[in-house]
């Protein structure tokens, strides 16, 4: 899959010389599942002018379920969206092969398995507990089930799954006691521990190479708008490079996008979510 990503991105960039002249303020709609750390690059691209440099005017839309992002891509309500690769297999089984992945997004994860304070180990979740997830087909749900399986905690024998939405609604459900545990992304996982909840394990340490998400488009739309797709990719690659090369400035900028993100970036144990090129990694796929 990584090779497919790389070849497609190269092919798209090769079309740049044949793209029509850049028009002012081409409006694009980008779908993300939450405003956690991993989705910050699209906000940075907007803030630092990388989208504007490519003649793009982005509208960033938060949609709490991956399946809804895919449906919005299919209906052309979105032009770009973060899509977990495993969801494409589900779509193809349903006869839909129009959504394609054009670049890597999350080549790792910031997730931690956070539980109510009474739970101290993953094994404690055995026995009818309720765990939150964004959707049954989400990559995060698969990751959580695998983490627990390695500790002998099996689904559906030992726990049930509730489809809640992204990290933010999952955090709210955990705070209210609606669920016993949830796989939360930073900075929400850090905030949860500060509030007295238990961190049962960091997914990025247990599963360091995991292609959590990628950039999806509808193939028919992308073929008709190849120049725009190339410009979008160029803006994102510029953003990834800027984030890697300007860490101190990024630390100052990102808290305005996601609260408490300064603590994450200053944590030396933070995971690397993406490469400077935006390619998927072989191990993560």
How many whole angstroms separate alpha carbon 161 and alpha carbon 130?
Answer: 6
Question: Residue 277 above 60 pLDDT?
Answer: no
Nearest to 212 by CA among 34, 44, 51: 34
pLDDT at residue 30, as a whole number: 97
Which residue has tokens 């959504």? 99
Tokens of residue 96, six digits: 């839909």
Same fold, 2-108+210-265 and 112-206: yes
Residue 203, number of CB atoms within 10 A of its CB? 25
Give 36-90 pLDDT, tens digit per residue. Answer: 777 888 999 999 999 999 999 999 999 988 889 999 999 999 999 998 888 888 8
Name the residue with higher pLDDT: 34 or 148.
148
pLDDT mean over 157-165: 93
Range 158-166 average pLDDT: 91
269, pLDDT greater than 60: no
| Predicted local distance difference test score (pLDDT) of residue 36 | 73
- Averaged pLDDT of the chain: 82
**Helices of type H across the chain:** 2-14, 40-47, 50-53, 66-74, 85-93, 139-149, 167-176, 188-194, 203-206, 219-224, 226-245, 247-253, 261-265
Percent of the chain with pLDDT over 70: 80
Give the pLDDT confidence score for residue 189 in this predicted structure: 92
pLDDT of 265 reads 42
Domain map of the chain by residue range?
Answer: 2-108+210-265, 112-206
Tens of pLDDT, residue by residue over 209-257, are 777 788 999 999 999 999 999 999 999 999 999 988 998 888 777 766 6
Question: Among 90-104, 129-143, 213-227, 246-260, where is mean pLDDT lowest?
Answer: 246-260
The rounded distance, in Å, linking the Cα atoms of 77 and 49 is 24
Query: Which one is the CATH code of 112-206: 3.40.50.10470, 3.40.640.10, 3.40.190.10, 3.30.530.20?
Result: 3.40.190.10
**CA separation (Å) from 43 to 24, 84, 86, 214, 260?**
20, 20, 25, 16, 16
Higher pLDDT, 204 or 50: 50
CATH T-level assignment (fold) for domain 2-108+210-265? D-Maltodextrin-Binding Protein; domain 2 (3.40.190)
The answer to whether the beta carbons of residues 57 and 45 sit under 8 Å apart is: no
pLDDT at 56: 97
The Cα 242–Cα 93 span in angstroms is: 39
């Amino acid at each position: 899959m990584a090779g497919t990503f790389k070849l497609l991105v190269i092919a798209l960039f090769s079309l740049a010389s044949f793209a029509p002249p850049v028009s002012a303020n081409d409006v694009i709609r980008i779908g993300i599942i939450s405003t956690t750390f991993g989705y910050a690059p699209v906000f940075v691209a907007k803030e630092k002018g990388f989208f504007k440099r490519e003649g793009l005017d982005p509208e960033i839309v938060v949609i709490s379920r991956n399946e809804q992002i895919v449906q919005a891509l299919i209906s052309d309500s979105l032009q770009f969206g973060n899509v977990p690769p495993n969801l494409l297999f589900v779509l193809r089984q349903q006869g839909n092969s129009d959504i394609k992945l054009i670049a890597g997004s999350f080549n790792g994860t910031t997730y931690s398995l956070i539980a109510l304070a009474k739970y101290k180990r993953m094994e404690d979740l055995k026995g009818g507990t309720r765990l939150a997830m964004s959707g049954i087909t989400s990559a995060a749900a698969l990751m959580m089930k695998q983490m627990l399986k390695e500790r002998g905690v099996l689904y559906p024998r030992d726990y049930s799954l509730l489809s809640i939405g992204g990290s933010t609604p999952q955090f709210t459900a955990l705070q209210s006691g609606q669920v016993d545990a949830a796989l939360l992304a930073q900075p929400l996982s850090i905030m949860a521990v500060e509030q007295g909840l238990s961190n049962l394990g960091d997914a990025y340490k247990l599963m360091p190479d995991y292609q959590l998400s990628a950039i999806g488009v509808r193939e028919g739309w992308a073929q008709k708008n190849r120049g725009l797709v190339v410009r979008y990719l160029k803006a994102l690659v510029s953003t990834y490079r800027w984030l890697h090369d300007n860490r101190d400035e990024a630390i100052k900028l990102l808290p305005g996008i996601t609260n408490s993100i300064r603590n994450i970036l200053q944590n030396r144990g933070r995971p690397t979510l993406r490469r400077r090129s935006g390619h998927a990694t072989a191990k993560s796929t």
